[in-house]
Structure 1
Amino acid sequence: MPPSEPHSPPVRGHFIDGQWVPGEGPTFRSVDPSRPSVSLGTWRAGTAGEVDAAVRCAAEAARDWALKPLSHRIAVLDAFARALEAREDVLARTISREMGKPLREARGEARALGRKWVLTRACARAELAPVHPEGVPGFWDWRPLGVMAVLGPFNFPVHLSNGHILPALVAGNAVVLKPSESAPRCAEIYVEAWAEAAADTGTAPALLSLVQGDGETGARLVAHERVDIVAFTGSLAVGRRILAVLADRPWVLPALEMGGKNAAIVLADADPALAAQRVASGAWGTTGQRCTATSRVIVHRDIATAFLDELLSATRDWTPGAPLDEDTLLGPLATEAAWSRFRAAQAESVSGLDTILSGGGAAGPTADGWWVRPAVHRVVGSARPGRWRDELFGPELLVLEVDDEAAAVEAANDADYGLAISVFSRSRERFDALRPALRAGLVHWNRATAGASSAMPFGGVRGSGNHRPAGILSLRYCVHPVATLLDPGDGDDDDR
Structure 2
Amino acid sequence: MKFQFDINADLQKLGVEQENYGICTGTKWKKPTGNFVESFSPSDGKLIGGVFQASPADFHEVIQTAKTAFETWRMIPAPKRGEIVRKIGLELRKYKKPLGRLVSYEMGKILQEGLGEVQEMIDICDFAVGQSRQLYGFTMHSEREKHRMYDQYHPLGIVGVVSAFNFPVAVWAWNAMIALVCGDVVVWKPSSKVDLCAVAVHKIIANVLKENNVPEGVVNLVAADSNQFGDEFFSNRNIPLISFTGSTKVGKKIGRLVGERLGKAILELGGNNAIIITKNANPEMALRAVVFGAVGTCGQRCTSTRRIIVHQSIFETFKEKLVAVYKQLAIGHALDPQTLVGPLVDKKAVQNYLNAIQRVEEAGGKMILKGEVLTGDGFESGCFVRPSIVEVENHFSIVQEETFAPLLYMIKYTELDEAIRLHNAVPQGLSSAMFSTNLMETEKFLSHEGSDCGIANVNIGTSGAEIGGAFGGEKETGGGRESGSDAWKSYMRRQTNTINFSTNLPLAQGIKFEV
Cα separation, partners in 2 of 1:424 and 1:17, compared to 1, 3 Å: closer
SS in 1 for 2:151: strand
Cα separation, partners in 2 of 1:369 and 1:35, compared to 1, 3 Å: farther
What's the TM-score once normalised by structure 2's chain length?
0.90
SS in 2 for 1:302: coil
Partner of 2:207: 196
SS in 1 for 2:131: helix
CA deviation string 1:363-415 (max 9, x = no partner): 462322400111000015xx731121100011011111111111111111111
Deviation at residue 261 of structure 1 after TM alignment: 0.3
Partner of 1:14: 23
Conserved 8 A contact 2:85-2:128: no
Cα separation, partners in 2 of 1:373 and 1:491, compared to 1, 3 Å: farther
Most deviating of 14-23 and 113-122: 14-23
User: Partner letter of residue 219 of structure 1?
Assistant: D
CA deviation string 1:408-457 (max 9, x = no partner): 11111111100111111121221102322211011111111111111111
User: Partner letter of residue 23 of structure 2?
Assistant: H
Distance in 2, matches of 1:267 and 1:477, equals 37
Conserved 8 A contact 1:272-1:303: no
CA deviation string 1:23-47 (max 9, x = no partner): 11122221100122x2211222211
Cα separation, partners in 2 of 1:165 and 1:270, compared to 1, 3 Å: same
Distance in 2, matches of 1:211 and 1:458, equals 25
SS in 1 for 2:478: coil
Partner of 2:512: none
Partner of 1:379: 392
Aligned ranges 1:435-474 → 2 under 5 Å: 435-436=446-447, 437-474=450-487
Distance in 1, matches of 2:24 and 2:205, equals 11
Distance in 1, matches of 2:504 and 2:318, equals 69
CA deviation string 1:154-173 (max 9, x = no partner): 11111111100011111011
Deviation at residue 190 of structure 1 after TM alignment: 1.1
Cα separation, partners in 2 of 1:428 and 1:315, compared to 1, 3 Å: farther
Partner of 1:312: 323
Distance in 1, matches of 2:129 and 2:286, equals 36
SS in 2 for 1:306: helix
Distance in 2, matches of 1:378 and 1:494, equals 66
* 1:233 has 2:245 as partner: yes
* 1:367 has 2:380 as partner: yes
Deviation at residue 268 of structure 1 after TM alignment: 1.7
Conserved 8 A contact 2:79-2:129: no
* 1:42 has 2:54 as partner: no
Partner of 2:36: 27
Partner of 1:72: 80
Aligned partner (choices 494, 498, 512) of residue 485 of structure 1: 498
Distance in 2, matches of 1:473 and 1:341, equals 37
Distance in 2, matches of 1:214 and 1:493, equals 57
Distance in 2, matches of 1:54 and 1:40, equals 27
Aligned partner (choices 114, 118, 131) of residue 138 of structure 2: 131
* 1:337 has 2:348 as partner: yes
User: Partner letter of residue 463 of structure 1?
Assistant: E
Distance in 2, matches of 1:234 and 1:201, equals 34
Partner of 1:52: 60
Deviation at residue 493 of structure 1 after TM alignment: 5.7
Partner of 2:441: 430
Distance in 1, matches of 2:344 and 2:51, equals 21
Distance in 1, matches of 2:26 and 2:114, equals 30
Partner of 2:513: none
Aligned partner (choices 130, 151, 170) of residue 181 of structure 2: 170
Distance in 2, matches of 1:40 and 1:227, equals 33
Q: CA RMSD for the aligned pairs?
A: 2.0
SS in 1 for 2:440: helix
Partner of 2:196: 185
* 1:96 has 2:104 as partner: yes
Partner of 2:280: 269
Distance in 1, matches of 2:294 and 2:26, equals 42
User: Partner letter of residue 268 of structure 1?
Assistant: K
Deviation at residue 64 of structure 1 after TM alignment: 1.0
SS in 2 for 1:411: helix
Distance in 2, matches of 1:293 and 1:55, equals 35
Most deviating of 286-295 and 308-317: 308-317
CA deviation string 1:67-121 (max 9, x = no partner): 1111221122222222222211111011011101111111111112111111122
Distance in 2, matches of 1:231 and 1:411, equals 30
Deviation at residue 491 of structure 1 after TM alignment: 8.4
Percent pairwise identity: 26
User: Partner letter of residue 312 of structure 1?
Assistant: V
User: Partner letter of residue 40 of structure 1?
Assistant: I
